[in-house]
Structure 1
Amino acid sequence: METSDILRHQIIKNLMAQHTENIADTAISLWELMATQIISIVGKGGFHSLYARSVFLTQSTFPWLTVDAVPSQAGQPFADLKISFEGQTVATIIEANSVLLITFTDILASLIGEQLTTRILRSAWGNAASIQVDKEFQHE
């Protein structure tokens, strides 16, 4: 299981490092793609609870991160996250969103298992996630 954790974390870090232009938009896009997959399993309320918990835990390192008490409108579910990114450096956004995604997927993996979590990420993020996992397996 430790290897899977490392692989999942590496997928996230690699995806965030690949796109330094419009980093806030890239971060939001990763969340939207992942949310679509997870909401189909746990519903909007379940997703928002996991997301809010992840933001809360990540705030100890990045206190400027915020989450709405009530989920944002359907058209912009991560508006609060995007607002939090305003004024931050590219490196800070990359690090904060990586930690937030890792925290979220750690919680999710503890609930539904590592294998299903990784499968959801692959489904949400497509080839970019699969390629990174395949490369890691080849080096072991």
Structure 2
Amino acid sequence: MNAALTPIIGQQGVVALYRRSIHLCASNQPRLASIYDSVQTGWDLIALQSVLVKQNEVDALFFGEVLLTTFYELLTTLIGPSLTARLLRCVWEPSLSDTPSQETSP
């Protein structure tokens, strides 16, 4: 996301969206407040990862989903849904190594 967005909104814009997304997640989900306190500075994904690995799997997945959704929604309010979708298409597309969610028989 950083690589896709920095040319459009700048590094400071990406960091601001990230921090705002974390803040909103913690505000809307009180159980995530401790995560916010640990990762509120800058675009430090290593700090985010170190906090998430300390959570149980359910909380880590929940926070990740809420954070990405919030980030996407904030970006959409700034640059519109069409441009957001185009810029982040590669982020949302499944990896080629992922197993298809539904296999079809020949």
TM-score, normalized by length of structure 2? Answer: 0.74
Q: In the alignment, what sits opposite 1:12?
A: none
Contact in 2 for aligned 1:64/1:84 (Cα 8 Å): no
Q: 1:119 aligns with which of 86, 92, 96?
A: 86
Once residues 59 and 20 of structure 2 are traced to their aligned partners in structure 1, the CA distance between those partners, rounded to angstroms, is: 20
Other structure's SS at 1:65 match: helix
Q: 1:128 aligns with which of 73, 94, 103?
A: 94
Q: Which runs of 5+ in 2 are unaligned?
A: 96-106
Q: In the alignment, what sits opposite 1:51?
A: 18
Q: 1:97 aligns with which of 58, 64, 67?
A: 64
Q: Which runs of 5+ in 1 are unaligned?
A: 1-33, 130-140
Q: 1:65 aligns with which of 35, 55, 70?
A: 35
The one-letter code matched in structure 1 to 2:94 is: A
Q: Which moved more, 1:114-123 or 1:43-52?
A: 114-123
Q: How many residues align?
A: 90
Once residues 53 and 42 of structure 1 are traced to their aligned partners in structure 2, the CA distance between those partners, rounded to angstroms, is: 15
Structure 1 residue ranges, 4+ long, deviating more than 3 angstroms after superposition? none
Higher Cα Rg: structure 1 or 2? 2
Once residues 36 and 124 of structure 1 are traced to their aligned partners in structure 2, the CA distance between those partners, rounded to angstroms, is: 10
How far residue 55 of structure 1 moved from its aligned partner, in angstroms, is 0.5
The one-letter code matched in structure 1 to 2:49 is: K
Asked which structure has the greater RCO (Cα within 8 Å, sep 6+), the reply is: 1
How far residue 111 of structure 1 moved from its aligned partner, in angstroms, is 0.5
Cα RMSD (Å) of the superposition?
1.9
**Quick one: percent identity of the two aligned structures?**
31
Once residues 86 and 64 of structure 1 are traced to their aligned partners in structure 2, the CA distance between those partners, rounded to angstroms, is: 13
TM-score, normalized by length of structure 1? Answer: 0.58
